[in-house]
Amino acid sequence: MSVLLVGMSHRSAPVSMLERVSVADTDQPKTLARLLEEDAVSEAMLVSTCNRVEYYVAARGFHAGLSAVIREIVDRSGLDVDDLTPHLYVRYAEGAAEHMLSVASGLDSMVIGEQQIIGQIRAAYQSADEHGAVGRTLHDLAQRSLHTGKRVHSETDIDEAGASMVSVAVDEAIRAINPDYRPGDADGLAGNNALILGAGAMSSLAATHLGRAGVSHITVANRTLDRAQNLADHSIEAGVPARAIALEDYRDVLDDVDILVTATGAMSPVVLIDHVRDAGPLAIADLSMPRDVEDGVGELQGIALFDIERLQMTSTRELGRDDEIAARAIVDEELKSYLQAQRALEAAPTVKALREKAAEVVSAELLRLEAKTPGLTEREREEVGRTVRRVVDKLLHVPTVQVKKLSGEPGGTSYAQALQRLFDLPLSTPQSLYADTDIPADLMVGDRMGRMRGTADIEGIMRSTTGGNRG
């Protein structure tokens, strides 16, 4: 079973397109269930964040898996295939594995080196696992990716260069209020008040960052008042005065705040032009995808808006060269180890079948011996049996150890195939990370980022296979 990735990110698509294909947390279980109804898909995992939407599936073939995922994206978003194609990227087999490891390490983020993505991948895996959408293939890949991300952050200085998207957006908003502010200033928001819409993980990160910048007071507004109160209590425990209000009451406090951070996860705008027309001066950091702030708000007098789209254009933080080299070296090392382990796993059924066949032969021959040697005592028969089994085990030891070792190398499945044919084992050719080997491991639809390789006409595949093929 091969891993297929179909995705869209801040690198390949505008925010308006990402908003159309994003999948809310509440919709993800149904999305995964629909994918699993496809004959071509046996496992599925969905990573949907502010900056990317990526479908990882264990597919029974490249073309069938690709058409299944594309159908789901088209059906959910209502977008035409021709509109989607220029903005999608497709990674297959080794390319899909390398991509997830890089993403988990923060190397593909808008803000290089940010740590938030590790938690997002972990949450995506846990959600898929809870809904029965993950098997061995995606489990192994997700766990290796999380391990790789942890190594990168603990063994390099990537954390010093890479902040989360939340901190970057909030820093930009703070600078709109205090041009002299520098990240890390403990009094950058002294005398200023903040309003946070939403009480999820991103809102919590924003509250922490605002507190470190010296904000005087935080108001948390959320649909569920208890969750807003929990976040406000955490701020109070950190030494920042705070209170909680209902989301529908947020307009009542706009005159008293200088900075608004919104991350509600709503599917339609929450902050409308009419709500903030007279609220300036006000700096707004919109961390949501789809956006919480209505188009046109940023053009109002006295309003400084910092949303995902603007961050795409202005974010310039990058790792130092040494940090990037060190991080990518860890990714390469973990990828090599992962691929070797996956290849070796493919030989395990063959080795097991060989030993089972050998055991059957030994049992049959011992039965024949028993019929021809009625004079042997029970003790003598047991000793003969142990001797025969030791001989067979010793003969098989080196070949089985070597086939496992050699199978870990590129093209190693040929050794398992050789054993199957030599001993007439009842197994088909192993198919996992290296099935469909005529398909390039890394495909970029529409030649985005200059990484399209091979001659596969992906647009043609999608147009010709989106007619429906659910199991």
pLDDT of 28-39, one tens digit each?
999 999 999 999
Higher pLDDT pick, 350 / 244: 244
Q: Which residue has the tokens 């990402």?
A: 18
How far the first Cα of the chain sits from its last, in Å, is 17
- Homologous superfamily of 179-314: NAD(P)-binding Rossmann-like Domain (3.40.50.720)
Instruction: List the single range of 29-38, 92-101, 165-174, 245-254 with lowest mean pLDDT.
Output: 165-174
Per mean pLDDT, which of 97-101, 179-183, 372-376 is the most reliable?
Answer: 97-101
Q: Which of 86, 6, 103, 94 is nearest to 51 (CA)?
A: 103
Q: What value does the mean pLDDT take over residues 360-373?
A: 89
Q: What is the pLDDT confidence band of residue 264, given thresholds at 50, 70 and 90?
A: confident
Q: What value does the mean pLDDT take over residues 62-83?
A: 91
Whether the CB-CB separation of 335 and 98 falls below 8 Å is answered with yes
In angstroms, the CA 280 to CA 271 distance is: 14
Q: Any bridge partners for residue 44, and if so which?
A: 57
What CATH architecture applies to the domain 2-156? 2-Layer Sandwich (3.30)
Q: Does the pTM of the predicted model rise above 0.75? A: no
Specify the 3-state DSSP secondary structure of 45: strand
Q: What value does the mean pLDDT take over residues 236-252?
A: 94
pLDDT at 469 over 60: no
Catalytic residues: 50
Length of the chain: 471
pLDDT at position 317, please?
47
Instruction: List the single range of 51-65, 189-203, 327-341, 346-360 with lowest mean pLDDT.
Output: 346-360
Whether the CB-CB separation of 99 and 5 falls below 8 Å is answered with yes
Q: Which of 4, 22, 91, 66 is nearest to 459 (CA)?
A: 66
pLDDT at 361 over 50: yes
Q: What value does the mean pLDDT take over residues 55-81?
A: 92
Specify the 3-state DSSP secondary structure of 434: coil
What burial class does residue 296 get, using C-beta atoms within 10 Å of its C-beta: 0-12 exposed, 13-18 middle, 19+ buried? exposed
Per mean pLDDT, which of 29-38, 202-211, 388-397 is the most reliable?
Answer: 29-38
What burial class does residue 437 get, using C-beta atoms within 10 Å of its C-beta: 0-12 exposed, 13-18 middle, 19+ buried? middle
Backbone angles phi, psi at 412, to 5 degrees: -65, -15
What burial class does residue 364 get, using C-beta atoms within 10 Å of its C-beta: 0-12 exposed, 13-18 middle, 19+ buried? exposed
pLDDT at 284 over 90: yes
